Structure formats: C-alpha cells, structure tokens
Amino acid sequence: MRAIDWFQSDQGGLGYISLIDQTLLPDALTTLQIRTVDELIECIQRLAVRGAPALGVAGAMGVALAAQNGNTVTARADALRLRVSRPTAVNLAWGVDQALEALERGTQAVLTVALSIRDQDVIGSHAMAKRGYELLADLLPEKMASGLNLLTICNTGALAAVERGTALGVIEEVFLRGNLKNVFACETRPLFQGARLTAWELSNMGAPHQTIVDSAANFLMAQGRVDAVLVGADRITANGDTANKIGTFSLALGAQFAGIPFIVVAPETTIDCETATGDLIDIEDRGTEEVVVINGKVMSPAGTTSVNPAFDVTPARLISAIVTDQRAIRPALNELPSDEVANEMTA
C-alpha cells in the first residue's frame, strides 16, 4: 500500500487521492479517500500526509482534485491555497506549480502531470537508494564489509514518498545487500516521526534498529558507535544549505565532531535554486500545543508557551554529500546544487 496514490472512481469518472493517515501509525493502518482540496489541506496540516516527496505528489494531485471539482478560476484559487498550506518543503509548491501549468488544457491534462510526478518519484527513489549505497561503499569500504551502523532522523522512507523514500531508502538498500549492522532512529520530538514511523518501516523490513531519544545521538556518535548519518531534506538552497526536520543541524555538528560522513538524500525536486541561502527559507513554527501536550497530558504549567520550529537549516559546509536521483554533490569539496547536473539518471 502506498502512502499516497490516485484512484479513478466509477462514479462519473471522478478520481480521488488515497492516503495513509500517518497520525494513526503504528497503532492502525488506515487509508483516507480525499476528494476535495479542503480535505487535502487539512490532512497536510495535521501531518496525515507528510514528507517532502509525498507533499510534492499531494500538491500535484490536489490540483487535479481542484480541476475536476470546479472551473479554472476556482481551481486556481484552490491550488494557491494548497500551495501555501505548509511552507518549508519546496516540493509542495513545486508539485502545485507543475500541475497548474496544465490547468488550461483540462482536468485530464492536470492528472497526467500529477501521475507522472508520482511515477517519477518512484523511479527517483530507486535511483537514490542505489547511488546512496554506492557512495557509502566508496566512503566507508571497510565498515561496509563489517556492517554499517547508521543514524537517521524523522521519517524518510516509503511513508514520506510514494515508494522507498530518500535516506531510509538508502538504508533499506544497505540492509537488502547485507551490509547493515544497526540503525539508530532518533525519536524526533515533538511528533515522533522516528519512533512511530521509521521504527514501523524498519520493523516491516526486518532491519535491525533501535529508537533513541534525540539528545542521545551526538553522544553515540562521539562514542564511535555510528559510521554515518543519513537524513532527508525539505529544501536545499542554491549554495547547498539544507532545511530538514528540527534536530538535523545538531546531528551535522555531532557528525563533524565525530569525523563521520553526514549525508543528505533528496530528489532534485527538493533543490530550490531560486533561493540563494538557507537563512532565506521560511521555517514553519507549529505552535505550543505539540510541545507541551504529550498523549493528551499537559506537561508544563498553565500559560507556558513554546517556540516550535518544525525544521532547521544545516549549513552546506557541514554536509559531506547530497545524494539526488541524478548526482552526488559534495558541498564539502565545493560542489554546489546550482552547478550543472553532472551525471545522467541511472535508474
């Protein structure tokens, strides 16, 4: 079952988005049928569907919903509301924009674009997994032979995409080829995407893993218990600065201290060359409640407020490599995302 997909219903030829409600995992595997842009926006904002590549697909499929439900004027207005429903992952706006370009040609044309973005995401995920594996083999040949200890944050697997995902796709490849010793999955406060979703995906794979509190990660690295850190990305700017789940920047500092590779895995669609540097990225703040309320229990005295940035920005100089579906960029060697694409797609 895919985290997000499109189905054609028999009623009047209208279609709908099917998505896994990720807020209910790992307790329940439930799918939702989404037929309007308002329903989709609600799902995006409460993180029923999440992760940069999945949001790109959701954005494009959302324009297809808008097109089939209205005329081009109402569809464009709906699409523009959808485009800004979460600000940090560039994929959402990108997916909406791609689909909007087809709006004047009709619903079927929009849907064709959306389905192509979905299919490209699958191809891209497989290409990243292979390229990421090859990079690790290159950087860590001896560790690869004895089994890698990898550390990751948030959820970057099939749930965050259409299939396989980004950083967790690479980890899956390492596991499938027999080179994985263990995965440390940061729990990822405040919404526990690591403890809930990544641990669920790794369990389903049968891959060895342990969930850790976020603040244990740098200590484990300093103890020499981690060979490499692999993370996803929500937006990579022209100079290589990378926005990803809050906590990622600390991991990059920990990796530098420990002298181990810090690798970002993301499709080319996550690269935003229109934005020069990371300090220009709009970082979503998700408010107080997510931080002070855990499982319905209020943890802080009444009136306590929180700063709750959902993402942070890792400076390019801390990133050993950015692995995309088309190339491996080495910011630490002065290569930039804005440089011309060097390699051909190898999927």
Q: In the structure encoding, which two tokens stand for residue 48, read together?
A: 């029923």
Binding mask 208-237 for ligand MRU (x = CB under 6 A): ------------------------xxx---
Q: In the structure encoding, which two tokens stand for residue 226, read together?
A: 């981690």
Query: With CB under 6 A as the contact rule, which of the stretches 12-20, 158-166, 177-185, 271-279 interacts with ligand MRU?
Result: 158-166
SS3 per residue for 257-271? HHCCCEEEECCHHHE
Residue from 127, 154, 205, 329 in contact with ligand MRU (CB under 6 A): 154
Residue from 166, 179, 242, 324 in contact with ligand MRU (CB under 6 A): 166
165 part of the interface to ligand MRU, by CB under 6 A: yes
51 part of the interface to ligand MRU, by CB under 6 A: yes
Cβ–Cβ < 8 Å for 3, 20 = yes
Binding mask 192-211 for ligand MRU (x = CB under 6 A): -x------------------
Nearer to ligand MRU, 98 or 244 (CB): 244
Please work out, in degrees rounded to the nearest 5, the angle formed at the alpha carbon of residue 172 by the alpha carbons of 232 and 254: 45
Which residues face 311 on adjacent strands?
245
Query: With CB under 6 A as the contact rule, which of the stretches 97-105, 152-160, 316-324, 332-340 interacts with ligand MRU?
Result: 152-160
Cβ–Cβ < 8 Å for 240, 322 = yes
258 part of the interface to ligand MRU, by CB under 6 A: no
Binding mask 310-329 for ligand MRU (x = CB under 6 A): x-------------------
Residue from 160, 162, 174, 195 in contact with ligand MRU (CB under 6 A): 160
Residues labelled catalytic: 234
124 part of the interface to ligand MRU, by CB under 6 A: no
Nearer to ligand MRU, 233 or 328 (CB): 233
244 part of the interface to ligand MRU, by CB under 6 A: yes
271 part of the interface to ligand MRU, by CB under 6 A: no
Nearer to ligand MRU, 132 or 165 (CB): 165
**By rule CB under 6 A, what count of residues binds ligand MRU?**
19
164 part of the interface to ligand MRU, by CB under 6 A: no
Please give the residue ranges that form the binding site for ligand MRU (CB under 6 A).
47, 50-53, 89, 154, 156, 160-161, 165-166, 193, 232-234, 244-245, 310
